[in-house]
């Protein structure tokens, strides 16, 4: 992997982790085009992705640092220091519970199907292209039927559970964590910015924990990757990721997700076309 390739992959990770277009799908396609994914030792690629994903997690932690601080502080205050009935707790304390509720489904499903998810399924371009197209169609339905009236203050435990279950579908490569969760939010009547904001907040525990676990389990494979290139890709993904979060939240205040729907469909069919012309190996 060269210096330039590390920057390109960092940019791809930073852009696609938060836009509803699938980071795993784009990184896998880029890795295959650059001939960076070894068929005999694919764990090296998995290790590389695990590390640079921590860069985008840093971006989330920095961008939502005030929200995170307030949620943790009020959650501890209302549940440990001055224990209150759930219905009497502050907005931030309840948000802490909602994040926990939303995390449970992806933890259960992720651990149950870990071997399948991290096996050949992760790098299968047929699966990725199908997921890109299918979720685009579902997101399109959400856009047509959504009410877009509810904001952060109106989120309930049931919303957190449904969006948490939706997050579990992001384990299928090509689906997109932000894509599945934003889609679920729109179906539940949340406005677009609220759906995206809650999507990012609720993803923190699951992404952070899975990223660290993946990093620990694949640490031995990092020896074959330049530390400098790893740092470059990770720092790049953090910087671009921060800008992507800011862009998406501002974009969704006044615009629909239509551009992402079209992009996903075109990307899905382009992958199939490249496979058909033998430019990519599925």
Q: Tell which phi-psi region holds residue 38, choosing left (phi > 0), alpha (psi between -120 and 50) or beta.
A: beta
Residue 90, helix vs strand vs coil: coil
Residue 229, helix vs strand vs coil: helix
Q: Provide the 8-state DSSP code for 280.
A: S
Helices 177-187 and 192-217, packing angle to 10 deg? 150
For residue 120, pLDDT beyond 70: no
Distant-in-sequence contacts of 75-83, Cβ < 8 A, 24+ apart: none
Q: What is the pLDDT of residues 214-244, one digit of tens each?
A: 777 667 766 666 788 889 999 999 999 999 9
Stated pTM of the model: 0.92
Are 108 and 166 in contact by the 8 Å Cβ rule? The answer is: no
The length of the chain is: 282
Scanning the structure block, which residue is given the tokens 């559970």? 161
Q: What is the pLDDT of residues 139-198, one digit of tens each?
A: 999 999 999 999 999 999 999 999 999 999 888 888 899 999 999 999 999 999 999 999
The pLDDT of residue 230: 87
Cα–Cα separations (whole angstroms), residue 82 to 79, 87, 93, 97:
6, 14, 12, 16
């Amino acid at each position: 992997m060269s210096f330039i390739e590390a920057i390109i992959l960092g940019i791809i990770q930073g852009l696609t982790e938060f836009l509803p277009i699938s980071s795993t799908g784009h990184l896998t396609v880029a890795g295959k085009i650059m001939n960076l994914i070894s068929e005999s030792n694919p764990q090296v690629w998995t290790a590389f992705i695990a590390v640079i994903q921590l860069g985008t997690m840093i971006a989330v932690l920095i961008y939502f640092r005030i929200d995170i601080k307030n949620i943790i502080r009020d959650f501890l205050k209302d549940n440990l220091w001055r224990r209150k009935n759930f219905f009497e707790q502050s907005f931030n304390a309840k948000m802490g519970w909602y994040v926990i509720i939303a995390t449970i489904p992806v933890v259960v499903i992720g651990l149950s199907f870990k071997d399948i998810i991290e096996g050949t399924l992760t790098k299968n371009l047929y699966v990725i292209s199908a997921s890109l197209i299918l979720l685009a169609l579902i997101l399109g339905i959400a856009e047509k039927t959504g009410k877009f009236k509810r904001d952060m203050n109106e989120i309930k435990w049931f919303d957190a559970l449904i969006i948490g279950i939706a997050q579990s579908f992001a384990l299928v490569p090509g689906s997109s964590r932000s894509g599945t969760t934003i889609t679920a939010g729109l179906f539940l009547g949340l406005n677009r910015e609220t759906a995206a904001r809650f999507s990012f907040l609720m993803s923190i525990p699951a992404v952070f924990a899975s990223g660290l676990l993946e990093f620990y389990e694949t640490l031995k494979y990092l020896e074959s990757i330049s530390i400098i290139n790893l740092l470059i890709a990770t720092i790049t993904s953090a910087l671009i990721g921060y800008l992507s979060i800011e862009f998406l939240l501002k974009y969704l205040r006044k615009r629909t997700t239509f551009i992402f729907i079209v992009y996903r469909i075109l990307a899905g069919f382009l992958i199939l076309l490249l496979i058909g012309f033998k430019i990519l190996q599925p």
